[in-house]
Amino acid sequence: MTTTISNPPYNMKWKHPFFAMSQSRFSFGLPPENNANYAFIQTALDKNDKAVFLLPNGVLTTSDKEEGAIRQALVENNYLEAVIQLPDKMFESTSIPTSLLIFNKHKATANIVMVDARPLAKQVERQQRGQVGGSAHTKRVYKKQINILDNDAIDQIMSLLDSPEDKEGMSKVVSIDQVKNNDFVIQPTRYISIKQEKADSSNNLKLICEDLQKISQEEAAVKLTINKKMAQDLGILGLCELLNMSADANKEINEAYKNVPDVNIDLNTDHIVTLTNNKVFKIEVKKWDKLPDIIHAFAIMWAQMSKQYNDQENVALMRLKAIMLDKYFGN
């Protein structure tokens, strides 16, 4: 059984080859020209029985019609064996969140193993030397904090792949029907149950508040003013509206908890996206009939990071609610 292991260029633009639909590798569909992620996957599976890909989390939830159809076909044909959601900030050059997707055309079961490896991450400091910018940079050593998975974490993940099981807060074995009921979204956190915290821990309450503050600050670090039609064309209009709704909800959360003992929350309430009918992005776009490649690349990465912050914020709020309910209304 042959295997491909690949970490291809992320979200790369490509050109459809001549007679693409007649090629066996595109039997599940032709990926869009603005993103080759699923082209890499299908090409590997056309030549090999197994494939392991390290790709950005956008492939797990993309709403692009062509990509969604391919993802659905891969699941329905029982090619997807496991998805491992990795911690962010694992690369020294970018903080983009990624996942490992494991494909197997000859699986023994019709299940998919979903693993969330983020709780296993450990932070380490790495030193790196500047690569460009003259001697002032190339002779300078930078220190950077990154996340890693140590040998123990890797052993835990491998154990779950070898002997799949449901583990609260970490893994879930799901059926094709379960994925179908979730619109073929293959993000592990959509299926894995949240591990409940002990409600009598004041330290947990403090940490949750700190998490919320940190996430809120990170989420508000980037503010966009964007033409509504452009946002729609880039596929981020729904996320823009969701983030603004989240900012409105933060006002209610701040008000609800402002007089609660032991809770120190001051979440961002400013809209981080302004949708306008004017031809405006955060940077000036001169060529309006065809958006520059950098805009497409930035929009994809920003959407992935913002959705991750929003998901983390929701999880932290659920943990906060559970603790508060038990603290004031529990036995």
Identify whether the C-beta of residue 215 lies closer than 8 Å to the C-beta of residue 265: no
Identify whether the C-beta of residue 291 lies closer than 8 Å to the C-beta of residue 235: no
For residue 44, what pLDDT is reported? 96
For residue 195, what pLDDT is reported? 62
For residue 309, what pLDDT is reported? 82
Structural domains of the chain, ranges and CATH numbers in brackets: 3-119+150-190 (3.40.50.150), 202-329 (no CATH)
Residues 6 or more apart whose Cβ sits within 8 Å of residue 217: 268
What is the value of pTM for the model shown?
0.63
CA distances (Å), 55 to each of 58, 151, 312, in order? 8, 22, 20
Q: What are the tokens at 119?
A: 């709780």
Identify whether the C-beta of residue 116 lies closer than 8 Å to the C-beta of residue 172: no
Phi, then psi, of 87 in degrees rounded to 5: -65, 155
The low-confidence residues of the chain, meaning pLDDT below 70, are 129-140, 142, 195-203, 283-296, 330-331
Residues 6 or more apart whose Cβ sits within 8 Å of residue 73: 28, 29
Spatial distance between the Cα atoms of 157 and 291, rounded to a whole number of angstroms: 41
pLDDT in tens, 223-281: 889 999 988 888 888 888 888 888 888 888 888 888 888 788 888 888 888 999 998 88
For residue 308, what pLDDT is reported? 78
Q: What are the tokens at 163?
A: 């002997």
Spatial distance between the Cα atoms of 7 and 306, rounded to a whole number of angstroms: 23
Q: Angle CA(239)–CA(244)–CA(246) in degrees, nearest 5? A: 95
